[in-house]
Every structure is written in structure tokens, then in C-alpha cells.
Amino acid sequence: MTAVLSGLQIFMSVILIVLVLMHSGKDAGLSGAFGGGSGGGPFGGGSLVERNLNRWTIGFAIAWVLNVILLLKLA
């Protein structure tokens, strides 16, 4: 069981890295670091594609954390 969850963890890690890298940088410089940028929605995504990308990224991040917790419980 641990081997399956470990393999799933590696797969989800790669997918999560790809999803994060697909996000476009919206804010540049120091003003973006302190919230001075503009965003259309609650996560800064304006278009439908950006919002769906945000949802997929958050979904995979939650699944990744749950898988880590399962792996720690089984170890």
C-alpha cells in the first residue's frame, strides 16, 4: 500500500509542478510582492482558463497534502 501511495505522490508532485509553472506572472517588481497588482477574481485570474487552472492547481495541492498525511500515518 505504501508503494502505491509513494508512486502516486511522485506523479502528483510532477503534475503540481507543471500546473504551477503554467501560471502566468501577473505582477512584477516590488509592488506585486506587496499586493499592488491588479487581479480580476479572488485568486487574480480573470479569464475562464486562468480560473480553471487555479482550481486544478488547488485541487492537486489538496490531494498532495492528503497523500502526504496518509503516507505519514502508514509509516
Is residue 30 included in any domain, yes or no? no
Q: What CA–CA distance (Å, rounded) separates 47 from 44?
A: 10
Give residue 25's region: left, alpha or beta (phi > 0; psi -120 to 50): beta
Is residue 4 included in any domain, yes or no? yes
Asked if residues 20 and 31 have their Cβ atoms less than 8 Å apart, the reply is: no
Is residue 59 included in any domain, yes or no? yes
Is residue 35 included in any domain, yes or no? no
Per-residue confidence of the chain (75 residues) as pLDDT tens digits?
A: 899 999 999 999 999 999 999 987 766 444 455 555 555 555 554 688 889 999 999 999 999 999 999 999 998
Print the domain residue range for 67: 1-22+44-75
- pTM of the predicted model, to two decimals? 0.72
Counted domains in the chain? 1
Is residue 55 included in any domain, yes or no? yes
Lookup result for grid cell 502508514: 74
